[in-house]
Each structure stands twice: as structure tokens, then as C-alpha cells.
Amino acid sequence: MDRQPNLNSSAPDDPTESTANGMNSPEPPANPLDPADDPLLEKLLQANSLEQAGDLEGARILYEEIIAIDVSSVWGASAKKALDNLPPESDFDASESPGDLSSLTATGGENAYLNSVASFPPTGKPQGNSTGILGFNWARERWKSLSVGLKFKILLAVAAIVPVVAFERTLVWFERPVAESETAAAPNAISYERVVRARFLGLAVGAGTALALLPIAYAIIRSLELNLRSMVRFTRALSLGNTQAQLSVTTTADEVAVLAEKLQDIADRMGESERQMQIVERERTQDTQKQTQEKERLQQQVMDLLVHIEGARAGDLTIQVPTVAGEVGAIADAFNTTLGSLKQLVERVNTIASRVTQQAQTSQTSVLEFSSATFAQSENLQNTLRTVVGISESIRQVAGTTQEAATIARQATNAAQTGDTAMDRTVEVVDKIRSAVANTAKKAKRLAESSQEVSQILASISGISEKANLLAFNASIEAARAGEQGVGFRQVADEVRALAAQVSESTADIEQLINTIQEETAEVIDVLELGTTEVVKGSGLVDRTKRTLQDLTRLSQQIDGYLQDVSRNTIDQTEASEQVNQTVETAAKIASATATEAQGVAAKLQELATDANTLQSSVAQFQVRSNDR
Amino acid sequence: MKSVFVVEDGHTEQAMIKALLGQAGFVVSVASNVDEAWNWLQNNALPNLIVLDIVMPGKSGLELCRMIQEHDKMKDVPIVFCSSKSEEFDRFWALRQGAKAYVVKPYAPKELLDTVFTHIQ
């Protein structure tokens, strides 16, 4: 249930509004606050209005009604208190004679009160219906309030009158049927005369009886009345507390005498018990006085204790309540013990609070340092992040460059392969050159050999020509001796010698030529040999070049493979560097957040320090050390 | 129109105080326990007088009286205790907490009204 309706305000002229519905209230939850719904509350309000207006009598009646209906309720208790507080009613018993019996007075009061209740029935019955009952009640109460003697007198009078009247009425009753039956047959005068006679006779008998009985009855009643009055006086004296009163009656043996004797017995016993009561009462009074003193002492002790406790409430924990004897002393002792514990607690709290303050301050410094370090770390991480981004970019460039290098390597491989093919052809050509040079050298050697043979032949020819020259010389000599005969011969011989000389000259020329040929052949051979060597050398170089080109192809392919790897790796690296990037970014964010949180923690520590200070100042209001006096 | 704030756990007593004070021309607000009352006092215009029961479930009226006395704005509102604790030191102790008067239950209507009229601001 919403609490708000429990706290509503209501204007005084709005009796229908409900107020707080107490959770623990034993009353039914139905709205009990509407005075119109609760006749007792309504009556109480009416009574209060009347009392405020000065109509005390009206208020009294209403209060009494409430008490009569329910004295144990809140309304009843309140009404009773109000009734007790009303000023005493001066004319309340005015209608009663002061000399009446007290019991009658009480009964009259009770009846007046009951009648007043009856005149304000809670159900609101119409007043008119009870008028007859009231008249009867009044008569009954008046009769009850009459003295016994008067009652007897009245009874006697009635006893005297009733027979006469009864007799007379009986006659009339007896006569009437006779008169009616004789109306037709006999004259009325005769019947009437009989009736009159009978009446006179009846009256005479009645009056005579009454006159005869009256003095006797009066004497008895008078005696009874006197004795009763004596007894009434006696009992009244008794009721007023006079147990010493003596009762004397005029008779000695009848019931009245017995009654008087018993009353006297009762009075004596009452006197005895009264004496005992007085003793008991005295003892009780003493007890009460003692109790009152004890209570006052206790109250005083409690008030002292409360004053001390109040001092402790104001924060002074050094208070020591004097431990007097008795229950309050026990409480004071317990209070002192409690206060001691509280003092220890406060001291401990104080110590801890100051330690907390100190530690909070220290921690705050550390946390602030940590915070700035974390900020620096965050900054570094930002730098790292930038570097990583740079690296990532470089890697991307390397990847691009690697791709280009791979292309170039592939082109180099192709070029090397082309070179290899060209080199193969070159080798072929060189081989052909080498065999051509080798053939040429062979032929040059053969030419040299042939020229040597020619030279040898020339030497033979030269020898032959020398021999022919010698022979011609010898033939000329012999021709000279042979003179004229020999002149022809000598001419021949001269011719031969000239021929021989010519041959020698030609041979010498040939030899010269041959020598030149040989020299040139030798040079050619040398050149050829040199050429062969160079060709061989060139062939080797070509081979090496070829191998180099093959190596180059292989290397290029390897490079290509490596570059492919590099390319793949750079892609991986790019991904990795992106991951690193993200990681570093996250780390930077975390570091930033950590720094912020550390600042928050520092703020909290500041608050903690403040709280601890507050706690310390709160605890400081407790005085835990006595003031030096 | 003057207002009275009543803190009382008993339904019937609540009804009676409310009716009596209402009849006397006061605006009456009611709470059934100390927590409710404290909440009300903090959220509403201060009344001209507070009637407090002492024995209630939870915190006692004495405690509420001390809370009010320690509050800067509320401490000047006069407090009348209305309790069935009738010992002399109950009255003594209640008045020491800063109350203006102490009415013992059961009370006559006039008694309560006279006390309220005497002390209301």
C-alpha cells in the first residue's frame, strides 16, 4: 500500500477522510476515524462541545452514557477521566432527603443514572413510548422509598377499605341478575330496596370490623415502626462507623427482638473486626509510606542516572555514574561498563580513522603517481601506435617493392634463360671456330713441314748448283787446258757455271722466300695457337658464363621464390601489424581508462580521507579522557 | 489555520485525537510510526505543534523527539507527548528530551485541547 494515504491531511470539516492505517493496529482496517460511524466518538465530541460551551450537566450525561456503553474502550476511559475532571455537581442529590438511608440514596443515584441512560438510547427510540413506563417506575420508586411503617399504615387502610368496597361491589354483582330477571315480573322498587339494605348492612359490618381492628393494628404497627426506626438508627450509626452504638427494642421475645439481638451481635463483631482492621490499616499505611519513600528514592536515583546518561549522550564518555545500592546501582554499574566499552571503541575508531586518513593520503599520492605513469604509458602507447602504423605502411611499401622486385627477378630469369640459349649458340660457334683454327694450325704446320722439305730440296738444289758450279769451274779449267778445243767447252762450262750461279741465286731467293714463309707460318702457327688458346679460353669463359647464367636463373628463381615468400610474409606482417595496431590501440585505451580510473580512485581516496576526517571529528565529540583539574 | 501533526500507532487514539483537534479547528495530519513521521516532516510544511506517542513499534517517540530537537529547522516546533506511561520519571525524562508538555493516557478531551492550545505556536 502506498504510504502517502497514511499521511494525508484533513480539514476538520472533512470527517470522511481516512488517515494513517497503522500496520500493527489490532483494529479492523475499515475506516474507524469517521465520527459519524462511531457513535461513541460522536458522543464524546458532543460531550466535549457541551463542556467547552459550559453545559457541564449535558456533558456529564453524555460522558456517563459513554461509560455505560463501554467503559473499557479508549472513549470510555477518556469519558471517565473527563467525568472525574468535571467540577462536583452541587444539586445532584437535591431531590433526596438528607435523612434517607444511604443505600436508598445510592439506589436513587443509580436509577437516575440508569434513567438518564434510558432517556438517551443509542438506538434513538422515540421518547413518547416510554412515558407510561416512566410513570410506573416513578410510582414504584416512590413506594420503595416509603418507610415500612407508612407502608403498613397504607396497607391497613387498604385492608379496611377493601373488604367494605368488595362487599358492596359483590352485593351489586349478586343483585344485578336478580334485578334483571325480575324486571318484567316484579316492581323495581322492591329490588332496589333490597339492594340498599344489603349495602347498608355491608357498610356497617365493614366499618365495625375496621373500627374494632384499627386500634389493635395501629398499636402493633406503631411498636413495629418504633422498633424498626431504632434499628434503622442503629444500622445508620453502624454504617457511619459507630460500632459502639446500642440497640434497644420494646419487645423481648418476638422476631424483632431476635433481629435486634443479632444486629447487636453483628455490631459487636464489626467493632472487633474494625479494631483489627485499624491495626492492619496502620501496618498498611506504614508499608505504603515505606513503599512511597522507596519509590521516591528509586525515582531520585533513576533521575540522577538519567542525568548522567544524558551527559554521556552529549559525548562525555568519561562519566562514572555512582553505583548506589539496589537495582539502579546495578543499572549504573552496567552503564559504566557499557560506557567503558564504548570509550575503548571510540578510541579504537579514532586510531583507525587517523590511520585510514594517513593511508588514504599515502595511497592517494601513489594512485596519482600511478595515474600519471599510466597517462605516460598511454602516451607512449599512442606513440607506439603511430610507429606501428608507420611500420605497417613501410611493410605495405615493402610488399609493393617486393612485388616489383619479383617482377624484375622474373624478367632477369627470362633474360638469363635467353642469355643461356644465346650462350649455347655461342659455344657452338666457338667450338666450330676452335676446330677451324685447329685445322688451320694443322695445315700451317703441314705448310711449315712442306716449306722445310722445300728448304731441304733447296739445300739439295743449292748443293747441286754448287757442285755444278764447281764442276763448271773444273770444266772451265779443263776447257782452258784444252785450249781452243776447250773454248767451246769452257763456254758451256761458263754457261753451266752461270746457270749454276743463277740456280744458286734462285735457290737463295727461294730459301729466302721459304724462310719468310716458314717464319710467317711459324707466326701463323703461333697466332693460331694463341687463337686456339684464346678460343679454348673463350669457350671456358662461355661455359662459365653459361653456368653463371644458369646460376643467375636459378638465383633469380630463388629470389623470385624468396620474394614470393617475402610478399606472402609481408601480407601476413600487414595483418599482424594490424593486429598489433589494434592491440596497441586497445592497450592505449585501457591505459587511458586505467589512468582515468586511477584518478577516480584518487578522488575516492580523497573522499575516504574526508570521510575518515569526518569520522574522526565525529568521534572527537566523545570525550574519552578526563579533564585534568 | 493552524496545523497539528500527530504520531500515534493506535487506530482508536489516532481517531480520537484527530476528531478532537479537528473539532477544535486544527488541520490534523497523522503518522503511525517514527519513520513515517520523519519522512513526513522532511517533505511537508512544518506543523504548529506535534503530538507524540512514546511507545510505538520500531523507534520510540522519545527518539523522534531527539531527532526533531537536533534538526535546525524543526527544533522550534513545540512537542506534546501523549503516552500511557504514567510514572513520574516518564514525564521527567520525556520533558528532558525537549517536549513542552506530557499528557497521560487516558486523557479527558479538554485536557488534551487545553494543553495543545497552551503550547501551539
Nearest to B109 among A13, A48, A299 (CB): A48
pTM assigned to the model: 0.40
Rounded to whole angstroms, how far apart are CA atoms A428 and A548? 17
Show the 3-state SS of A297-357: HHHHHHHHHHHHHHHHHCCECCCCCCCCCCHHHHHHHHHHHHHHHHHHHHHHHHHHHHHHH
**What DSSP state is assigned to residue A129?**
G
Chain B residues whose CB is inside 8 A of the A25 CB are 9-11, 32
CB B14 within 8 A of CB A41: no
Rounded to whole angstroms, how far apart are CA atoms A621 and A187? 128
What's the pLDDT at B45? Answer: 95
Task: Let me know if residue B114 belongs to a domain.
Answer: no
CB B47 within 8 A of CB B120: no
- Verify cis geometry, omega within 30 degrees of 0, for the bond prior to A122: no
Show the 3-state SS of A212-226: HHHHHHHHHHHHHHH
Q: Residue A577: which residues within 8 A CB-CB, separation 6 or more?
A: A388, A391, A392, A395
Chain B residues whose CB is inside 8 A of the A52 CB are 110, 113
What's the pLDDT at A284? Answer: 93
Q: Residue A115: which residues within 8 A CB-CB, separation 6 or more?
A: A134, A137
DSSP codes, A443-472: HHHHHHHHHHHHHHHHHHHHHHHHHHHHHH
Chain B residues whose CB is inside 8 A of the A81 CB are 106-108, 111
Q: Which residue of A has its CA nearest to B24?
A: A12
At A430, which CATH number? 1.10.287.950
Task: Let me know if residue B121 belongs to a domain.
Answer: no
Rounded to whole angstroms, how far apart are CA atoms A31 and A24? 15
CB A322 within 8 A of CB A629: no
Task: Let me know if residue A544 belongs to a domain.
Answer: yes
Question: Touching check for B55 and chain A: CB below 8 Å?
Answer: no
| Distance to chain B for A89, nearest Cα, Å | 18
Question: Touching check for B117 and chain A: CB below 8 Å?
Answer: no
Nearest to A302 among B24, B39, B89 (CB): B89
Q: Which of B23, B33, B86 to mutate to test the interface with A (most CBs of A within 10 A)?
A: B23
Strands B27-31 and A9-10, bridge-based pairing: antiparallel
- Nearest Cα neighbor of A235 from A99, A97, A101 is A101
Strands B27-31 and B49-52, bridge-based pairing: unpaired
Question: Touching check for B5 and chain A: CB below 8 Å?
Answer: no
Q: Cα A523 to the chain's mean position, in Å?
A: 119
**What DSSP state is assigned to residue A37?**
G
| Distance to chain A for B94, nearest Cα, Å | 11
Chain A residues whose CB is inside 8 A of the B13 CB are 74
CB A195 within 8 A of CB A172: yes
Into how many domains does chain A fold? 1
Q: A48 vs B36: CB contact, 8 Å cut-off?
A: no
Q: A20 vs B27: CB contact, 8 Å cut-off?
A: no
Rounded to whole angstroms, how far apart are CA atoms A560 and A139? 146
Rounded to whole angstroms, how far apart are CA atoms A336 and A311? 13
Q: B31 vs A20: CB contact, 8 Å cut-off?
A: yes
Blockwise average pLDDT, block size 10, chain A, 629 residues: 38 39 38 62 90 90 90 88 82 41 36 37 41 72 69 73 70 62 54 71 74 76 83 85 81 77 87 89 93 88 85 82 73 82 86 85 84 83 83 81 83 83 83 83 83 81 81 80 77 80 81 81 81 79 81 81 80 80 84 83 84 82 70
pLDDT above 80: residue B102: yes
Rounded to whole angstroms, how far apart are CA atoms A38 and B16? 10
Contact pairs from chain A to chain B, CB under 8 Å: 139
What's the pLDDT at B113? Answer: 94
> If you search the block for the grid coordinates 758451256, which residue do you land on?
A492
Chain A residues whose CB is inside 8 A of the B22 CB are 10-13, 15
Q: Which residue of A has its CA nearest to B7?
A: A20
Neighbours of B33 (CB within 10 A): 23
**What DSSP state is assigned to residue A623?**
B
Q: B19 vs A49: CB contact, 8 Å cut-off?
A: no
Q: Which of B2, B3, B8, B11 to mutate to test the interface with A (most CBs of A within 10 A)?
A: B11
- Vertex A441 angle, CA A438 and A442, to 5°: 85
SS3 assignment, position A29? coil
Chain A interface, Cβ < 8 Å to B: 3, 6-13, 15, 19-25, 27, 32-33, 35, 38, 41, 44-45, 47-49, 51-52, 73-75, 77-78, 80-82, 84-85, 299, 302-303, 306, 310
Q: A48 vs B20: CB contact, 8 Å cut-off?
A: yes
Rounded to whole angstroms, how far apart are CA atoms A227 and A249? 5
Cell of A140: 414504584
- Vertex A38 angle, CA B17 and A46, to 5°: 65
Strands B79-83 and B27-31, bridge-based pairing: unpaired
Q: Which residue of A has its CA nearest to B56?
A: A24
Alpha-carbon torsion (A153, A157, A163, A166), positive or negative: negative
Chain B residues whose CB is inside 8 A of the A49 CB are 23
SS3 assignment, position A569? helix
Strands B49-52 and B101-104, bridge-based pairing: unpaired
ipTM: 0.89
Neighbours of A215 (CB within 10 A): 9
Name the amino acid, one letter, at B98. Answer: G
Into how many domains does chain B fold? 1
Cell of A606: 580523497
Element (H, E) at A528: helix A483-620
Question: Touching check for B45 and chain A: CB below 8 Å?
Answer: no
Q: Listing from the earlier edge strand, what are the strands of the sheet with B27-31? A: A9-10, B27-31, B3-7, B49-52, B79-83, B101-104
How sure is the predictor about B33, in pLDDT bands with cuts at 50, 70 and 90? Answer: very high
Rounded to whole angstroms, how far apart are CA atoms B53 and B97? 13
Domain span at B23: 3-54+61-109
Rounded to whole angstroms, how far apart are CA atoms A214 and A157? 9
Q: B19 vs A11: CB contact, 8 Å cut-off?
A: no
Task: Let me know if residue A172 belongs to a domain.
Answer: no
Q: B28 vs A10: CB contact, 8 Å cut-off?
A: yes
Show the 3-state SS of B91-109: HHHHHHCCCCEEEECCCCH
Q: Which of A18, A44, A48 to mutate to test the interface with B (most CBs of B within 10 A)?
A: A48
Question: Touching check for B90 and chain A: CB below 8 Å?
Answer: no
Show the 3-state SS of A466-515: HHHHHHHHHHHHHHHHCHHHHHHHHHHHHHHHHHHHHHHHHHHHHHHHHH
Name the amino acid, one letter, at A537. Answer: K
Cell of A119: 432517556
Q: Residue A177: which residues within 8 A CB-CB, separation 6 or more?
A: none
Task: Let me know if residue B118 belongs to a domain.
Answer: no
Nearest to A299 among B11, B14, B89 (CB): B89
- Nearest Cα neighbor of B104 from B118, B120, B90, B117 is B90
What's the pLDDT at B49? Answer: 97
Task: Let me know if residue B119 belongs to a domain.
Answer: no
Chain A residues whose CB is inside 8 A of the B59 CB are none
- Nearest Cα neighbor of A121 from A133, A106, A103 is A133
Cell of A549: 647464367
- Convert the pLDDT of each residue in B34-52 to its tens digit: 999 999 999 999 999 999 9
Domain span at A370: 327-620
What's the pLDDT at A171? Answer: 67
Neighbours of A106 (CB within 10 A): 10
Q: Which residue of A has its CA nearest to B58?
A: A24
Question: Touching check for B23 and chain A: CB below 8 Å?
Answer: yes
At B27, which CATH number? 3.40.50.2300
Chain A residues whose CB is inside 8 A of the B27 CB are 9-12
Cα distance from N-terminal residue to C-terminal residue, chain A: 59
Element (H, E) at A131: helix A131-145
Alpha-carbon torsion (A210, A215, A216, A217), positive or negative: positive
Q: B15 vs A32: CB contact, 8 Å cut-off?
A: yes
Strands B3-7 and B101-104, bridge-based pairing: unpaired
What's the pLDDT at A125? Answer: 39
Q: Which of A13, A74, A291 to mutate to test the interface with B (most CBs of B within 10 A)?
A: A74
Rounded to whole angstroms, how far apart are CA atoms A54 and A46? 12
SS3 assignment, position B113? helix
Question: Touching check for B3 and chain A: CB below 8 Å?
Answer: yes
What's the pLDDT at A188? Answer: 56
Q: Which of A19, A71, A331 to mutate to test the interface with B (most CBs of B within 10 A)?
A: A19
Task: Let me know if residue A582 belongs to a domain.
Answer: yes
Q: A19 vs B12: CB contact, 8 Å cut-off?
A: no
What's the pLDDT at A133? Answer: 67
Task: Let me know if residue A170 belongs to a domain.
Answer: no
- Nearest Cα neighbor of A583 from A370, A392, A398 is A392
SS3 assignment, position A186? coil
Question: What's the CA dihedral at B15, B17, B21, B22 to 10 degrees?
Answer: 0
Chain B residues whose CB is inside 8 A of the A77 CB are 105-106
Q: Which residue has the higher pLDDT, B7 or A610?
A: B7
Task: Let me know if residue B77 belongs to a domain.
Answer: yes
Secondary structure tally for chain A: helices H, strands E: 10, 1
CB A528 within 8 A of CB A382: no
Q: A51 vs B11: CB contact, 8 Å cut-off?
A: no
